[in-house]
Amino acid sequence: MQRLSELTAPQWLKAALIAILLFAVFQSMIGVGQITAAYVKRHTALDYVEQRVGLDTAFLDVGNQTLNTPVNEAAVAQYISRFNTTLSTLHYPIAIHHLQHVAAYDPPPAYTVETTLQLQTAEQEIRINVGMLPLATSLSLHPFAILAALLLTPLMFELRLRSARSKAEEKTALQPPEPKLVIDMTTKSIGNGVDSDMVVMQNKPFCFYAALVRFCIENPQATLPQNKDVPQPLIILANRVFLRLIELGHTKRKKPDFNANLDKTLSEIRATLDEVFSRYPTEKEKFYPPRAQGEGSRSKQHSYALPPLNDEDIVILGK
């Protein structure tokens, strides 16, 4: 698992987003539970009020429609007050506002959702106006949601990183490898980096081409007219490659003249590249010394400098 100190700023942001998302999920689940519990408790409280008032009406002077007797408002108001106290003690989220049109002395102001219960006795109908707390008031921030989010965030973040790595590896595995120019000093050969086939070259074209590649990387804007002598920096690089071949035991001959027979040297290089990149003609152009166009191999406008290259485009072994 990746350490916290190793996380980058974008990874910290992603971890924070995961934590927030987990908290939202857990808090939403808890919120649904809280709303459901409040709904059940509300209906339990309504049933209690209906049953309790139904039993108490035998002893409560709520008047009689049949006998045309009035309601004892003082007694009913005191009864409502006592009943609301009982409801509060039982932690029921309701309170009686009116009983037979008699208002409570001090109805709780938060009980804003109202409903009416109707009790039918043998002699009359009793109406009870009840106030209830809105279900939303039952919602509260639960510490479990915070704790669960903090505990699960590292695990979820690690799983996400592994999934991203796995997808990247699968994508890389599905993509064919990109050909590169491989120059192997130990075998005096070049390859394309995709297959294991390497083509061995003669000393002079190998040294000149290895030097040409390095020269063109270091001097991307340089022009190399074929009708002029090879620049001295390129000659120096070619001589260094030749000395490396001597160290590796490939030759004991004297240094070749890299200015002599340049046409032949470039032709041998092109022939080798044609063989190495026979399956990748498009990629070959990046490493191919351009041929002269129109006016022959000694055109004054012609340059055998390679197209712009980067160190990522080549692999040099045994340097």
Range in 8-12, 88-92, 191-195, 275-279 with the lowest mean pLDDT: 8-12
CB 188, CB 250: distance < 8 Å = yes
In this predicted structure, the answer to whether residue 170 has a pLDDT above a threshold of 60 is yes
How many C-beta atoms surround the C-beta of residue 151 within 10 A?
10
pLDDT class of 293 with cuts at 50, 70, 90: low
Range in 187-201, 257-271, 284-298 with the lowest mean pLDDT: 284-298
pLDDT class of 45 with cuts at 50, 70, 90: very high
Closest Cα partner for 139 from 46, 38, 41?
38
Q: What percentage of the chain exceeds 70 in pLDDT?
A: 91
Range in 14-18, 134-138, 259-263 with the lowest mean pLDDT: 14-18
Stretch 97-101: mean pLDDT: 87
Supply the pTM of this predicted model: 0.49
pLDDT class of 174 with cuts at 50, 70, 90: low
Q: Which residue has the higher pLDDT, 80 or 71?
A: 80
Delimit the domains of the chain by residue range: 4-138, 181-317
In this predicted structure, the answer to whether residue 297 has a pLDDT above a threshold of 50 is no
| pLDDT 10s digits, 228-256 | 888 999 999 999 999 988 988 887 778 88
